[in-house]
């Protein structure tokens, strides 16, 4: 109980039903080890993922009326990705409160991004169930949306640079190349169409009065498709 109280102090929220918090901190490895199947944080993580997406989406929709759907999607994805949520969990110190099996403990489970990000979403769901959406919003505001300014600056880069960083964040070895598809019109009014490929797969195509603008348009389309494919 003392560990749960300390965790609640760090969260800034007092649970009425502290069993919810215990479950949110229980990794599936411990439930398996102790033959308590289903008494882990996986269902809470599922709910927390939905709550988080709703809260972040609503915040971005309300605060960025100038952003189109693609830009909003990219910014949201950067805020709720595994790496970002693991960082939020570390700021909260959730790792020290996780309930893990002996094997997962020995494998460094308290430091794994996947376990930490899932635990953050599970804790968010537990707060939502215990205290409602407003209390969940406080956690998201303090530990997820606090990174919004930095991510928004990153998203303001030109589309080619942003797409390259998006792809290489997942697979640094992938090759990105732009190809001219067509060129039409008189010299004073040219229309170029470019496509962008990752390895040998086409992800976007765009047109413009120059190869550069057509390439940027192709990269913009590619980012929207790539982001949705990775969600």
The SS3 call for residue 54 is helix
Q: Are 127 and 42 in contact (CB under 8 A)?
A: no
Q: 217, 70 in Cβ contact below 8 A? A: no
Q: Which of 18, 149, 22, 128 is nearest to 79 (CA)?
A: 149
148: its two tokens: 């919004």
Q: CA dihedral in degrees (68, 71, 74, 80; nearest 10)?
A: -70
114-130 residues labelled b (16+ CB within 10 A) or e (exposed): ebbbbbbbbbbbbbbbb
Q: Which residues are catalytic?
A: 49, 121
């Amino acid at each position: 109980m003392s560990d749960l109280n300390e965790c609640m102090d760090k969260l800034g929220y007092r649970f009425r039903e502290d069993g919810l918090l215990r479950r949110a901190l229980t990794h599936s490895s411990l439930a398996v080890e102790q033959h308590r199947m289903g008494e882990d944080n996986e269902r809470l993580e599922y709910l927390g993922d939905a709550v988080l997406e709703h809260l972040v989406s609503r915040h971005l929709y309300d605060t960025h009326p100038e952003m189109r759907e693609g830009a909003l999607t990219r910014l949201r994805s950067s805020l709720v990705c595994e790496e970002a949520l693991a960082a939020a969990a570390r700021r909260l110190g959730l790792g020290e409160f996780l309930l893990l099996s002996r094997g997962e403990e020995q494998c460094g489970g308290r430091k794994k991004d996947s376990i930490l990000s899932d635990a953050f979403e599970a804790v968010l769901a537990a707060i939502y169930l215990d205290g409602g959406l407003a209390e969940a919003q406080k956690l998201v505001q303090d530990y997820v949306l606090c990174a919004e300014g930095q991510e928004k600056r990153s998203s303001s880069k030109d589309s080619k640079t942003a797409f390259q960083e998006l792809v290489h964040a997942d697979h640094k070895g992938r090759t990105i190349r732009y190809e001219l598809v067509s060129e039409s019109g008189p010299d004073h009014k040219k229309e170029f169409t470019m496509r962008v490929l990752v390895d040998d797969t086409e992800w976007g195509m765009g047109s413009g009065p120059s190869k550069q603008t057509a390439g940027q348009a192709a990269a913009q389309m590619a980012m929207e498709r790539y982001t949705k494919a990775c969600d």
